[in-house]
Amino acid sequence: MKFSRTSQRRVILSELRKLKSHPTADELYTIVREKLPQISLGTVYRNLDQMAEAGIVQRLELCGRQKRFDGNIDRHYHMRCPDCGAVKDVENDRMSHVESILSDVLEDLDAEGFWIEFTGQCKDCNKPRVEII
């Protein structure tokens, strides 16, 4: 419930903050082990998750571990329920405007494409949100 001050957590956070590489847990584990050779991979996973839940670090990506598929290959957008994991189509007229701006952004960045995903609890979701903190 409350964060204890441990060298493991301090080093994990400070090393992560030094990096611009957006490491995976195991990549950070390799780095942290130079300072704390005895640290375990599980500790890195656990601390990153805890700190992400607390908003101290950012976890890149909203999707779950399982891939999802769609028979509709037209460009359209999805909203994922953070509680039950369901994915639903969403539609909004403003998205064509967003797309046109993002196509300019793609040129600026010399990027290939973009993905947008919305999050929101589904109306008929029966799983109650678990409040953290």
Partner DNA sequence: CCATTTTTAGTAATGATTACTATTTTTAAA
Partner DNA sequence: TTTAAAAATAGTAATCATTACTAAAAATGG
Q: Which residues bind DNA (CB under 7 A)?
A: 1-9, 24-26, 36, 38-43, 45-47, 49-50, 65-67, 131-132
Binding residues for Mn ion restricted to 80-99, rule: CB under 5 A? 89
Binding residues for a copy of itself restricted to 14-53, rule: CB under 8 A? 16-26, 28, 48, 52
Tell me how far, at minimum, the Cβ of 132 lies from a copy of itself, in Å: 10
CA distances from 88 to 69, 119, 121 (A): 12, 10, 10
Of the ranges 2-10, 11-19, 34-42, which one interacts with a copy of itself (CB under 8 A)? 11-19
Of the ranges 7-15, 65-73, 96-104, 112-120, which one interacts with Mn ion (CB under 5 A)? 65-73
Looking up tokens 């890195």 gives: 44
DSSP character for 77? E
The binder of Mn ion chosen from 70, 84, 97, 117 (CB under 5 A):
70
Amino acid at 14: S
Map residue 29 onto helix, strand or coil: helix
DSSP character for 66? S
CA distance 45 to 49: 6
Tell me how far, at minimum, the Cβ of 70 lies from Zn ion, in Å: 18
Tell me how far, at minimum, the Cβ of 6 lies from a copy of itself, in Å: 18
CA distance 131 to 58: 18
Token pair, residue 119, equals 């999050």
Residues that bind Mn ion (CB under 5 A): 70, 89
